[in-house]
């Protein structure tokens, strides 16, 4: 486990997402409700990036075929039970966003 700086808060608008790459691991960051979230970047449907998806509260909609995930828990909210993207702990210090890998 190590804290890694991945972005600045100014790079993520409210209800926005951004993908970062940390040592080859693709991670989607989201900003919603004044909080920041980090999870696996690729949708479990067809491995497409979810960071450009529309965010509504704690839910992001995959921009490709509209699967929905909870950005806090990583849980898939459609069809299949028990499908979950890996989530990462986020720590915001000043204007810097860190995640725990
Ligand atoms: S790749 Fe995400 S819903 Fe199809």
Index of the ligand 1 atom closest to the CA of residue 47: 1
Please state the φ and ψ torsions of residue 10, each to the nearest 5 degrees: -70, -15
pLDDT number for residue 26: 97
Least confident of 60-64, 68-72, 75-79, 85-89: 75-79
Report the CATH number that the domain containing residue 11 is assigned in CATH: 2.102.10.10
Residue 94 Cα, ligand 1 centroid: separation in angstroms?
Answer: 34
* Cross-strand pairs, 4: 99
Select from 45, 69, 80, 85 the residue to mutate for testing ligand 1; criterion: most ligand atoms less than 8 Å from CB.
Answer: 45
| 25, 36 contact by CB (below 8 A) | no
| 3, 96 contact by CB (below 8 A) | no
pLDDT number for residue 81: 87
**Pocket flag, ligand 1, residue 26 (CB < 6 Å):** no
**Pocket flag, ligand 1, residue 64 (CB < 6 Å):** yes
Q: Which residues of 2-34 are buried (b: 16+ CB within 10 A; e: fewer)?
A: eeeebbeeeebeeeebbebeeeeeebbbbbbee
Q: Report, as an integer, the average pLDDT of 23-28.
A: 95
Give tens-digit pLDDT for 38-65.
999 999 999 999 999 999 999 999 999 9
User: For the chain, how many structural domains are there in total?
Assistant: 1
**Pocket flag, ligand 1, residue 54 (CB < 6 Å):** no
Q: Within 13 Å and on the Cβ side, how many CA atoms surround 91?
A: 9
Q: How confident is residue 80, by pLDDT bands cut at 50, 70 and 90?
A: confident
Structural domain span for residue 41? 3-100
């Amino acid at each position: 486990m190590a804290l890694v700086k991945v972005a600045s808060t100014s790079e993520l608008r409210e209800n926005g997402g951004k993908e970062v790459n940390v040592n080859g691991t693709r991670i989607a960051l989201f900003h919603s409700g004044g909080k920041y979230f980090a999870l696996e970047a690729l949708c479990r449907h067809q491995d497409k990036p979810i960071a450009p998806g529309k965010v509504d509260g704690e839910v992001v909609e995959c921009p490709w075929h509209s699967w929905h995930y909870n950005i806090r828990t990583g849980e898939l909210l459609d069809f299949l039970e028990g499908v979950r993207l890996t989530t990462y702990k986020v720590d915001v210090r000043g204007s810097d966003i860190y995640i725990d890998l």
